[in-house]
Structure 1
Amino acid sequence: MNLKKELLRITSQFFEEIPDYSSAINEYKQFLLSVSNEDINNEVYLNNIQRKNGIAIGTLWAANCLDDLIRTHKFIKGIDIAIQEKIHQKGSLHILYAGTGPFASLILPFILKYADFNITYTLLEINPLSFEALKNTIKKLGLETHAINFINEDATKYNISKSFSPDIIVSETMQRALDSEQQVSIFYNLMKQANSDTIFIPEKITLSIGSSAYEIQKPDTLQKYHRKHHKVFEVSKEAMNSENWLFDKTTTQLNFAKKQTILKIEELSRAKEIVVMTEITIYKNEKLLINESGLTAPKYIEDISNNKKEPLTIESQYVIGSEPKLEIKII
């Protein structure tokens, strides 16, 4: 089998208007697993790497991100839009992918699609097992002749060469509600070094206070639905330069403004739970809306079904530590 042709055949489906892209993504994952020949179900591949600013997930979990089908499809489409936009502006491109996992699956489709263009790829991965699997996969696919740099470092500390600034940075290192992983720290470290016109994918992530309730759709059937109330945190170039992001030079600590949200009685009508809701703008019109993906599944905070329909005051603040998260306190 010609592996390059097979990779091109499979990934070309992502850029076509096909009714069911799920089969193409499943085929893509199985192809990468067979090419890498890594037994990623082995216990050693399950281990996350704990850092002071969050976790870097284990090799198996990184590979399984492909199973989030809508997420995978929309990220690839968003990256393609960004590449097409930049390729017409410049003669050459530099794409930095931070947190590649074992396959660099969000960037791999473009290496062959844009093979005739002058694009350099920097693949940055902290997990040594994922990093070795990545290099092995690229080699077996015969892609090592392309302009690819492999960096086994922590993306939250990586120093970008001033003479080699990326035009596009891709990093999907997150869970719903921006829990646990290093997405925010990676974004800050890389974007503070990038040019003002550098595209970061995802372009924007917002966390909002929301509520969930139930309504009867059919006899004896309850349907859960969610309502978004107030945005309390955002990751984007605009947010990074706002007063809501505060960098303490003395402690070298990144802090964020506290928010106070008041939910009025009318907003709480029929509400049963307080939740945190995540929305992701990948790039331009490519977005992951609430509940479209594991990344945008609402996070349960507290049951308020016994609330006597009084206004609620909610304090929130995003914090970075060994377990990054949006801290919530309902008063």
Structure 2
Amino acid sequence: MNLKKELQRITSVFFEDTKDYSKSFSALKKYKKLLLGISNETINNEEHRNNVLFENGIAIGTLWAANCLDDLVRTLKFIIGINIAIQEKIQQKDSLHILYAGTGPFASLILPFILKYADLNITYTLLEVNPLSFETLKSTIKKLGFETNNINFINQDATKYQFPKNFSPDIIISETMQRALDSEQQVSIFYNLMRQSDSDTIFIPEKITLAIGTGSSKVKKTDIQQKCYLKHNNVFEVSKKAMNSNDWLFEKTSNKLDFTKKHTVLKEEELSTASEIVVMTEITIYRNEKLIINESGLTIPKYIKDVSDNKKESLTIKSQYVIGSEPKLELKIV
């Protein structure tokens, strides 16, 4: 089998003008199967399940990173969003530099573009901290015959990586997150890479928003119980605009990134039909390409508190995003 031609055949479906989601999802499953076959790695081994721990979050194990492909809507929409960004940039410049931070074992969000835009002058820098994922990545790229495609490999922590002289990425991609921005290094990676970048550098995802919401169970006419969610207040945002606002504060003395505290008041009438308080995640990948509530594992609401027995008095939720060994949105309900 010509692996490169097979990869191109499978991934070409992602770029068709007419979106056929069933066809795209079928192609994504074939895409993962092909990559697993190419890598020839037994990533079910125990060592490939181990996360790498850092002072500002975790880098997930090789197996879990590979399984991100199973989140079909997430993968497809990220590929579509990245393509929109590349199309914009190639109208403006003769050459592009794309930095992909947190590639996992396959750099799965960028591989289709190495083939699609093989005739363009695009340099790819692949940055991965997990040593097992990094070795699998290099092996996969080599077996695909991509070594000559202007690809740089860097085995470093993206939260600490310093750009070399004259290094200026046009697009930075990093999907290193879980729902509610728990546990992983997404926020720290964004801050470190974007503060070194030019003002017109595109970061994908373009914006991540956390909001306090409520959920309620409703029985539809079909007698199927369905959770309905209502957003009440945005409490944290990751974006270029937010990074340059007073909500993000970097203290040089402590070398620490801090964020403002937010207060959300849920009034009696807002709680009257609510059964739970949740944190809701919404992701703007790029332009109009978005992941909305419950569309992906990244946007499943995070359960916080049962309020079904609440006496319907108002509640105040104090929230602040914190970075540490377990980054998260800290909440206190009073």
Aligned twin of 1:23: 26
Aligned twin of 2:301: 298
Q: Which moved more, 1:129-138 or 1:302-311?
A: 302-311
Aligned twin of 2:84: 81
Tell me, in whole angstroms, the C-alpha distance in 1 between the residues paired with 2:175 and 2:21: 25
Q: Which moved more, 1:217-226 or 1:138-147?
A: 217-226
Aligned twin of 1:95: 98
Deviation at 1:265, TM superposition (A): 1.7
Give the RMSD, CA atoms, in angstroms.
0.8
Deviation at 1:161, TM superposition (A): 2.1
Pairing partner for 1:170 from 170, 173, 181: 173
Tell me, in whole angstroms, the C-alpha distance in 2 between the residues paired with 1:219 and 1:113: 45
Pairing partner for 2:49 from 42, 46, 50: 46
Deviations 1:287-316 (A, max 9, x none): 000000000000000111111111111000
Aligned twin of 1:61: 64
For structure 1, list consecutive stretches of 5 or more residues without a partner in the other structure: none
Cα distance change on mapping 1:113 and 1:237 into 2, 3 Å? same
Pairing partner for 1:311 from 305, 309, 314: 314
Instruction: Tell me the TM-score normalized by structure 1.
Output: 0.99
Tell me, in whole angstroms, the C-alpha distance in 2 between the residues paired with 1:198 and 1:224: 38
Aligned twin of 2:38: 35
Aligned twin of 1:189: 192
Q: Percent identity?
A: 74
Q: Does 1:260 align with 2:275?
A: no
Tell me, in whole angstroms, the C-alpha distance in 1 between the residues paired with 2:258 and 2:309: 34
Aligned twin of 1:242: 245
Secondary structure (helix, strand or coil) at the match of 1:146 reads coil
Aligned twin of 1:70: 73
Tell me, in whole angstroms, the C-alpha distance in 2 between the residues paired with 1:71 and 1:168: 19
Q: Which runs of 4+ in 1 moved over 2 A?
A: 218-222
Deviations 1:80-137 (A, max 9, x none): 0000000110010000000000000000000010000000000000000000000000
Instruction: Tell me the TM-score normalized by structure 2.
Output: 0.98
Deviation at 1:263, TM superposition (A): 1.0
Tell me, in whole angstroms, the C-alpha distance in 2 between the residues paired with 1:147 and 1:215: 54
Q: Does 1:155 align with 2:164?
A: no
Deviation at 1:218, TM superposition (A): 3.6
Deviations 1:21-57 (A, max 9, x none): 1110000000000001001011110000000000000
Deviation at 1:215, TM superposition (A): 1.2
User: How many correspondences in the alignment?
Assistant: 331
Tell me, in whole angstroms, the C-alpha distance in 1 between the residues paired with 2:86 and 2:146: 19
Secondary structure (helix, strand or coil) at the match of 2:220 reads strand
Q: Does 1:13 align with 2:10?
A: no
Pairing partner for 2:291 from 264, 272, 288: 288
Secondary structure (helix, strand or coil) at the match of 1:164 reads coil
Tell me, in whole angstroms, the C-alpha distance in 1 between the residues paired with 2:316 and 2:21: 45
Deviation at 1:18, TM superposition (A): 2.3
